[in-house]
Amino acid sequence: MKKVFVIMLAALLALSLGTGLAEGVVNVFNWEDYINEDVIKMFEEETGIKVNYMRFTLNEDMMVQVRTSPGSFDVVFPSDYAIERMIAEDLVQPIDFDKVPNAAQILDWLQTPDYDPEHKYSVPYMWGTVGILYNTTKVEEPITSWGQLFDEKYKDQVFMMDSPRDTLGIALKYLGYSVNSKNPAEIQEAANLLIEQKQKGIVKAYQVDETKDKMVAGEAALALVWSGDAQYAINLNPDLAYVVPEEGSNVWVDGMVITKTAANPDNAHAFIDFLSRPEIAAMNVEYIEYSTPNKGAIELLGDDYIDNPNLNPGMDVIENCEFFHDNHDVKVLYDTYWGMVKNAK
């Protein structure tokens, strides 16, 4: 996708049509490296609102900050299960959608997501899947199943994700269970599968951000990854390919919410609406390389995006996946079994 110039022209035209300047600030708390910085500058130039931009790396760390620092954050970008938890803890306020008209651009299947079923508290920002990134020169068979991550033929050739929820989740899915299982016996069975995988020497490493670059360099045959990281790697190494296995997977969404204690709620609404403009959403997709929930952005991105199953999978793939749900009541169980996996010899 090389449409940045066209998209930026559209965005600049939109800026020239903007209304008068507002005052004040908006305090934004987002993931690391998860926005095109030109977008922030364009918002400030159009609105006169200063963006105080802060970053986090884990949903759990973000929620601690929101709980303990009331009034410090206006717009926050939690993942689906974290949105569900924040709603339950009364940490977010309903969005006034009259102030976010561009939210009408959101794809139909994300209008009433499981984690925010009334579509009352969040606007989707990015989404994606979890699957297998593989090197076509290092495999001799179609990659279709999670089971291939556990096959001894790939000894010392598999990167797994250093994430209890994602990695236990795919093991659960392979065994025929839900990624949201709260059944101790099922979680133990998934952990035992992962322990056996490690003890057989199949796992080359548990990691997250490093995986995409190591796969580009040809250091393994298979890797458990998020779809955006897969697309990043494929862009740099055409020998790589990505698949969501036939057993199904996790489909995730990172959304935009306004905290209950937001000091600048009007500016927060303005920021969310700005990021939901098709031309702005498209700019962020070009930069981040995850999937957009924005219909207008998809049209701007054109065939390169529409025809890419990694970024724009069919509904048959999506319907075979599950959102993660809040699992705070069994988090200790997941963390305990994950510790057993990581410490296995």
Same domain for 133 and 236, yes or no, is: yes
Same domain for 230 and 280, yes or no, is: no
d(CA 103, CA 227): 24
Taking residues 281-305, what's their average pLDDT?
Answer: 96
Same domain for 182 and 60, yes or no, is: no
What total number of domains does the chain contain? 2
Same domain for 176 and 239, yes or no, is: yes
Same domain for 121 and 263, yes or no, is: yes
Domain extent, residue 292, equals 4-127+252-318
Same domain for 75 and 181, yes or no, is: no
Residue 266 is predicted with a pLDDT of 97
3-state secondary structure of 263: coil
Same domain for 198 and 301, yes or no, is: no
**pLDDT tens per residue across span 10-58:** 444 444 333 334 569 999 999 999 999 999 999 999 999 999 999 998 8
**pLDDT tens per residue across span 81-96:** 999 999 999 999 999 9
* pLDDT at residue 5 is higher than 80: no
CB-CB contact of 240 with 69 (8 Å): no
Q: What is the CATH number of the domain that holds 35?
A: 3.40.190.10
CA 186 vs CA 70, 198, 283: distances in Å: 38, 19, 42
**pLDDT tens per residue across span 115-132:** 999 999 999 999 999 999
Q: Which pTM value belongs to this model?
A: 0.88
Residue 57 is predicted with a pLDDT of 87
Same domain for 213 and 304, yes or no, is: no
Same domain for 141 and 51, yes or no, is: no
CA 242 to chain CA centroid, Å, is 16
